[in-house]
Amino acid sequence: MNVLVCIKQVPDNSVVPKLDPNTNRVVTEGVELMESPFDLNAVEAGLKLVEENGGEVSVLTLGGESAKTSLRYGLSMGAAKAYLLKDPAFEESDSWGTSYGLAKAIQSIGNFDVILCGKQAIDNDAGQVGPGIAEQLGISQITYVSEIVSVTEDTLTAKRVSPAGEEVVEAKLPVVLTCEKSLNEPRYPTLKRTRMANRAEIPEMDCAAVGADPAKVGKNSPSAIKKLYTPAPRQSGELIQGEAEEIAKIAVQKLVEQKII
């Protein structure tokens, strides 16, 4: 079973994001970077799949030179191969452009039975790229996976979190899964693997190499961000003090006044 995991490098979640109003982007220069945490759940799921079913895990990302650090982290966790999709044409791609590029890269790398992504990246929280890859490749998808129940030669059954509850879904291989945090506990890299990962050659691929049309991505993406802003801080609530009976009366009165009830 061959597995490919898509990883995204994002600003460290302990840093309050700064926005650049001119580019409508989150500022990443000079900011500590990390792997989007759900992507590490995806790597862990991939490693478990190959441990149980044989095969190997590859990791892929779209980004600049610094994104190699995230690929090396995937290798240090246990992935066998890493690929970097790197082309200035991808700058400012939307979710469609990103999934288009990644799907093209996946097709050019080889055949995979399972493609894993985090359920969403913690910078944009769009959650579109995983499903987008499945659409681009014309294969099945199971999103928000909280458990991989079973795998056969040509199917995979997973439990997914849905607004209505939990669903157990069977899909034909190849399949794209997007992973929840509850799926597993990502392993820590060992130091021998970390050292090996630092020495690994990471092939770089551009639009031409993967057969992606630069005219469809980056600034030419189908959608563009009109405005990016930090939401206004929430107003603090009103504290009603007194006896429980009085508080209840005042609270109901206020809710009626505001036509909430």
On whether the CB atoms of residues 40 and 63 are closer than 8 A, the answer is: no
Q: Please identify, using beta-carbon distances, which residue of 188 and 229 lies nearer to other proteins.
A: 188
* Beta bridge partner(s), residue 205: 85
Backbone angles phi, psi at 142, to 5 degrees: -130, 120
Neighbours of 245 (CB within 10 A): 8
Per CB under 8 A, contacts with other proteins among 62-121 are 72-73, 76
Dihedral in degrees, nearest 10, Cα atoms 148, 152, 154, 159: -20
3 state SS for 196-237: HHHHCCCCEECHHHHCCCHHHCHHHCCCCCCCCCCCCCCCCC
Sign of CA dihedral 29, 33, 37, 43: positive
CB of 39 to other proteins, least distance (A): 15
Pick one of 198, 223, 224, 246: the residue that binds other proteins (CB under 8 A).
198
Contact region with other proteins (CB under 8 A), list: 140-148, 190-198, 225-233, 250-258: 190-198
Examine residue 197 and tell whether it contacts other proteins (CB under 8 A): yes
Pick one of 189, 205, 212, 218: the residue that binds other proteins (CB under 8 A).
189
Query: Buried b / exposed e across 42-73, counting CB within 10 Å, b at 16+?
Result: bbbbbbbbbeeeebebbbbbbbeeebbbbbbb
CB of 203 to other proteins, least distance (A): 18
Q: Please identify, using beta-carbon distances, which residue of 7 and 207 lies nearer to other proteins.
A: 7
CB of 76 to other proteins, least distance (A): 7
On whether the CB atoms of residues 46 and 5 are closer than 8 A, the answer is: yes
Distance of CA 133 to the CA centre of its chain: 12
Q: Please identify, using beta-carbon distances, which residue of 75 and 177 lies nearer to other proteins.
A: 75
Pick one of 24, 108, 140, 194: the residue that binds other proteins (CB under 8 A).
194
Examine residue 190 and tell whether it contacts other proteins (CB under 8 A): yes
Q: Please identify, using beta-carbon distances, which residue of 73 and 83 lies nearer to other proteins.
A: 73
Q: Please identify, using beta-carbon distances, which residue of 172 and 195 lies nearer to other proteins.
A: 195
Pick one of 22, 30, 188, 233: the residue that binds other proteins (CB under 8 A).
188
Examine residue 192 and tell whether it contacts other proteins (CB under 8 A): yes
Q: Please identify, using beta-carbon distances, which residue of 70 and 98 lies nearer to other proteins.
A: 70
Calculate helix-pair angle for 191-199, 68-77, nearest 10 degrees.
140
Pick one of 13, 51, 168, 195: the residue that binds other proteins (CB under 8 A).
195
Gyration radius (Cα) of the chain, Å: 22
Residues in the interface with other proteins (CB under 8 A) total 12
- Judged by the rule CB under 8 A, the positions of this chain that interact with other proteins are 72-73, 76, 188-192, 194-195, 197-198
